[in-house]
Amino acid sequence: MTIPGFTSTGSKRPVALYGRDDAMPSQMVRAEGCRVWDVDGREYIDTIMALGAVALGYGHPSVTSAAVDAARAGAVGPLAPKLEREVADKLAAVLPGVSWVRFLKTGAEAVAAAVRIARAATDRERIITCGYHGWLDWCQTGAGIPSAVQALRREIRFNDVADLEGAVLEDGPIACIVVEPVVDEAPTAEWLAALRETSTRAGAYLVFDEIKTAFRIARGGVAEQMDVVPDLVAVGKALGNGYPIAAVGGGEHLRASVETTWISSTLATEFVGLAAASAVLDVFEAEAVVNALAESGAGLFACLTNLARKYGDIVTGVRGVPQMCYLTFATEELSGAVSVAAAERGLLFKRNAYNFVALPHSREVIDRIGTILEDALGAVSQC
């Protein structure tokens, strides 16, 4: 195998999807709306939605057409594209507290850039984090990560004000508090207020990692939904609806700090990702996407809650918020068996991690997902 671990995106490995190496489907050739076709031409309904990278549906016509036009326009060149500023203006208009943005290609890069800017602005090294922020060294543990880097970071529990305040007191001067504003449940207003207040009091910057939540829970993510303004924000995933684009943005007070540190990437300014983001921003402006996702999410969440009650022998609960939710299972084996059974019945359903609703998940599709899942759970529960 020329790709160690089967694929370059860890969450797409068969073992991640199904708990086993040999389960199917493992490779695909096409996607459209909320449907996916595997290498044998078999069609599936999908709730994984490219790990949340797609909220408007695969191959959304206006995004595709913008991306194709950008490719035809040469895709990249030696100068900053005019489009970059246009997309930056549109993005800043919908992200709370944001007056400047810098584009990058991945979510991990965007959050890393936010942390770098906070460290540059404060001249401090220690940081506090909560949630997943990508694969880069600054936020990872384990093989290959220098212990000196790991020692600079302290992880706190989500929605736990006492843990947050304890960490800030004990950790000495910190550069920033980086949080994913949804981790398995919605944030409480008390937690968000404590984050805002504690970071200001500590002379640290508050960073919202809205890679999953922006352009999903609201255009401006949880910051908009809950009316809390972070100092820095990272967005990605649904912003490009499948094309590679991410951004870090911040308030006026941090503009000068961005230029004191080197954040630059050769293809950060290629046109295709920028054009896709521009089209996505236009769709969110013209259509009630956020409401539609909330509505279909409510349908999916209710369906999962109902199934969790009915199959309490194997399902232990429902996690997340309507727009991004999942089932928890009594054992790893059971979660794998259910995802295999769902795939056999034509549904790609993420086990132990978020399923995401997208525009093409109509009421009928959600009903169909419920029927397939019920059938899969019934089959596994009888084994």
Ligand X SMILES: Cc1ncc(COP(=O)(O)O)c(C=O)c1O
- The residues binding ligand X (CB under 6 A) are 51, 106-108, 111, 131-134, 180, 209, 211-212, 236
Task: Give CA separation, 289 vs 11, 56, 118, 283, in Å.
Answer: 26, 8, 32, 8
β-pair partners for 318? 327
Q: Is 229 helix (H, G, I), strand (E, B) or coil?
A: coil
Q: Which residue has its beta carbon closest to ligand X? A: 107
Choice between 153 and 212, CB closer to ligand X? 212
Distance CA 147, CA 328 (A): 33
Distance in Å from the first CA to the final CA of the chain? 34
- Give min distance, CB of 105 to ligand X, in A: 8
Cis amide leading into 25 (omega within 30) = yes
- Give min distance, CB of 304 to ligand X, in A: 20
User: In what side-by-side order are the strands of the sheet with 35-38?
Assistant: 28-32, 35-38, 43-46, 347-348
Choice between 51 and 71, CB closer to ligand X? 51
CA nearest to 300, candidates 245, 368, 249, 237: 368
Distance CA 194, CA 186 (A): 15
Choice between 37 and 132, CB closer to ligand X? 132
- Give min distance, CB of 139 to ligand X, in A: 9
Choice between 239 and 308, CB closer to ligand X? 239
- The number of beta carbons lying within 10 Å of the beta carbon of residue 23 is 17
Choice between 111 and 343, CB closer to ligand X? 111
Choice between 57 and 273, CB closer to ligand X? 273
- Give min distance, CB of 131 to ligand X, in A: 6
Radius of gyration of the chain (CA): 21
- Give min distance, CB of 291 to ligand X, in A: 23
Choice between 53 and 56, CB closer to ligand X? 53
- Give min distance, CB of 340 to ligand X, in A: 23
Choice between 239 and 303, CB closer to ligand X? 239
- Give min distance, CB of 217 to ligand X, in A: 12
Helices (H), the chain: 14-18, 49-52, 61-72, 82-94, 107-122, 147-150, 161-170, 189-201, 221-226, 255-258, 271-286, 289-310, 332-344, 363-381
For the record, the structure tokens of 181 come out as 């504003």
- 175: enclosing H helix or E strand: strand 174-179
- Give min distance, CB of 350 to ligand X, in A: 12
